[in-house]
Amino acid sequence: MARIVLVIGVLAAVQLTTQGPVRANEGPWCALRNFGSDLSEDCQYRSLEECRVTVISGFRGFCNPNPRWQGEVVKSRPHRKSQPQ
């Protein structure tokens, strides 16, 4: 349990110090992989299922939403109210 809290604390510190634009190859999901004392973040996954496959296929870790992901910008058109006839 202490290890999980430590990992989350380290990730929070990294996020606060690396606020910048999202890289072009990043997706909405990150695989947080643990290699002994090394922790790596891989945020290329477009779906939770895609991320889970990576984590389950031999890497110890977990999937987390990408905190830098802004999503696709979609402009919405204003809705016209229909006039009563």
Placement of tokens 């006839």 in the chain: 85
Mean pLDDT value across residues 59-74? 81
Question: pTM of this prediction?
Answer: 0.54
In the chain, what are the domain boundaries? 22-66
Higher pLDDT, 22 or 49: 49
Structure tokens at 37: 């004392």
Residue 17 predicted with pLDDT over 90: no
What order do you get walking across the sheet with 38-45 strand by strand? 38-45, 29-35, 61-65
Q: What is the pLDDT of residues 34-56, one digit of tens each?
A: 777 788 899 999 999 999 998 88
